[in-house]
Amino acid sequence: MFEVYRKEIEWGNRTFSFETGKIARQADGAVLARYGNTAVLCTVVINKTQRHDIDFFPLSVHYQEKTYAAGKVPGGFFKRESRPNEKETLTSRLIDRPIRPLFVNEFKNEVQVICTVLAHDLKNDPDIVAMLGTSAALCLSGAPFLGPIGAARVGYSDGQYILNPTIDTAKKSELDLVLAGTQEGLLMVESMAYELSEKVMLDAINFGHKSFQPMIDAIIELAEACAKDPMDLPETKLDIKAIRRKLEASGKAMMETAYDEPNKIKRQNKIIDAKKKAIESIDDLLEEEVANTLLKNIESDIVRSRILNTGKRIDERNTSTIRPIAAEIGLFPRLHGSALFTRGETQAMVITTLGSSHDEQIVDALEGEYREHFLLHYNFSAFSVNEVGRMGPPGRREVGHGKLAWRSLKPLLPSKEHFPYTLRVVSEITEANGSSSMATVCGASLSLMDAGVPLVRPVAGIAMGLIKKGEEFVVLSDILGDEDELGDMDLKVAGTNKGITALQMDIKITSITIEIIKIALEQAKNGRLDILNEMNKILPIAREHVSKTAPKMRSIKIPVNKIRDVIGSRGKVIREICETTGAKIDVEDDGNVKIVAVDKIALEAAHNWIYSLISEPEIGKVYDGKVVKTLDFGAFVNFFGSKDGLVHISQLTRGKRPETVSEVVKEGDKVKVKVIGFDDRGKVKLSMKIIDQDTGNDLADNIK
């Protein structure tokens, strides 16, 4: 019934297999990829009709994790998977970025890739499995795809590179690097590192590229056995060359003049006018449908040829110069930390908020639930690029840029034990003309230090570009938006003066070599150090103390056998402490107690209350107390948390013994008492008469 094709290979000390022909047979391409006991179904469907009304390739990639893959039931009320979580969004981008450049330029049919995690062995991350499964499914589908691609994860520990470390091993690694590419070169890199040198990072990339070559060979062998015939590219009756000549004749000169304008908004307006004039020369509806794509090509050729032939960039910088930098901190005194970082026409306003452990994000992942105390969110508003745009939840780009900045800063954060705050950093992009994610890194570093977060070292980021024609190429530092859009590479490098903490690379051509990446990394290092020098002029190290408006925190260690006393029956005691003092209290199983309050008074009150619950009263010590009950023979005073003691009528006041207790105190009175001993049953005996009730001074020596 099924004609099943299977290719199996030993890779990274585990078995990887591709299987097709049994599941999802109506898709144009369907591959079940397995690594260990992790399995991902990757499908490709191609719309049979070409779209002429767009100037981009309509590819959509969806990676989805089913909780049943890890033997779990979804959380929440509906008990069903809903919108994509951060991991699913980031992995969808991870798959999209290396495959998109490999579709032929003329192809405009909609393509949809869906990767479904069916099983997760909690050892092998499904993302690499999904990338390789997608590569195989595309090669089998008949799409005009210039693949296959290979992909791998690289770790680094004790001076050794690790191919596809397991999830547990990866947590101990100094490097988490994912890369993808072809036999000839690289297409995509994504990584987080603990201040590693350019050489270590370059060698890791080289190691990964060599390591995934067997996977490319395996996909080729599978495709040779069962791939569908290649699709015929749609023929067009239009004379594309003639249309381009017509557009160039009417609009190219104006576009060249527009690129003499260094100001982004003015330049964009001139380009819009030039394109309008060029379109006016087209009087055929079909020709007009391809005109926008051709105009984009003309625009690209103008920018690229200028840089390659003259070394002159749009804003007249040379290839390695960084745009002017301006930075401010402490923008809003009420906030815990803030910074405004401006580089050229790119600007990020970054705000840091300090919270308690109650503010940590609970992440329900397939690998298990965990809590994250460092959050970084990136927001990109349409006004930052002088556009009218939709308002809605963050898109994939925002999630991806935020995660890149998160990876850049995470290795430099103090340990949770040393600095127990939950950290939320929000980057609001207020201007954008290239590399807003790297502006976020720089602004976030300053904002965190402004909030008093003791970063190990400041972090800066820079975006690098590439213009390549044949064997000739130019690497560009601190690229503009147009240089990103019309160029061949977007390489983002973040780090300190000691090394790299994050690396992200996307290639828009079929691939680039290790040699080009080496040149780009060295040039990026020089630019990063220049940016750090400018940042250090503003704030070289973190402030000594957190903001006055930040919550106050204190940690104490209590005996494990006293935890019940602090919490009380069904949480009664701890609720009372929180409600009375206004503090938040978190008691951990090992006896660590974290107290968070809005001010020092509430913090001290909660701390003293907890301390009284776990300690015993000391003979001879004076305490503040409250009369809770009066009897004929004395008054009971609550003086040490939940502890009560008896002030005998003879110990109420100096001089003549009172006839009744009520002559001196009544219920609710606040008094000062001294512990004078314990009775035969261990009950506390207190005295008021030997304490000055106004000052709390001990008068014992003056009383006869």
CB neighbours (10 Å) of residue 157? Answer: 14
Which residue ranges form the domains of the chain, and what is each CATH number? 5-226 (3.30.230.70), 240-310 (1.10.10.400), 325-536 (3.30.230.70), 552-614 (3.30.1370.10), 622-702 (2.40.50.140)
Read off the pLDDT of residues 636-664 as tens digits, 9 standing for 90 and up. Answer: 998 876 678 999 999 998 878 888 898 89
Residues 6+ away with beta carbon under 8 Å from 32: 18, 19, 20, 22, 23, 39, 40, 41, 42, 118, 133
The first and second tokens of residue 207, run together, are 């190691």
CA 438/CA 324 separation, integer angstroms? 14
pLDDT band at 703 (very low <50, low <70, confident <90, very high): low
pLDDT for position 535: 97
Distance from C-alpha of 249 to C-alpha of 243, rounded to nearest angstrom: 10
Q: Binding site annotation covers 506?
A: no
Whole-angstrom Cα distance, residue 424 to residue 353? 5
DSSP structural state of residue 251 = I
**Does residue 704 register a pLDDT over 50?**
no
Determine whether the annotation assigns residue 599 to a binding site: no
What is the average pLDDT score of the chain?
Answer: 92
Which class for 20: exposed (0-12), middle (13-18), buried (19 or more C-beta within 10 A)? buried
- % residues pLDDT > 70 (the chain): 99
Mean pLDDT, rounded, for 302-330? 92
- The pTM assigned to this predicted structure is 0.87
Least confident of 120-124, 178-182, 217-221, 555-559: 555-559
Distances in Å between the Cα of 543 and the Cα atoms of 408, 452, 553, 670, 687 are 21, 5, 17, 41, 48
Q: Which residues pair with 574 in a beta bridge?
A: none
The pLDDT score that the predictor gives to residue 439 is 98
Tokens of 704: 């006869």
- Using a 10 angstrom Cβ sphere, with 0-12 exposed, 13-18 middle and 19 or more buried, the burial of residue 114 is buried
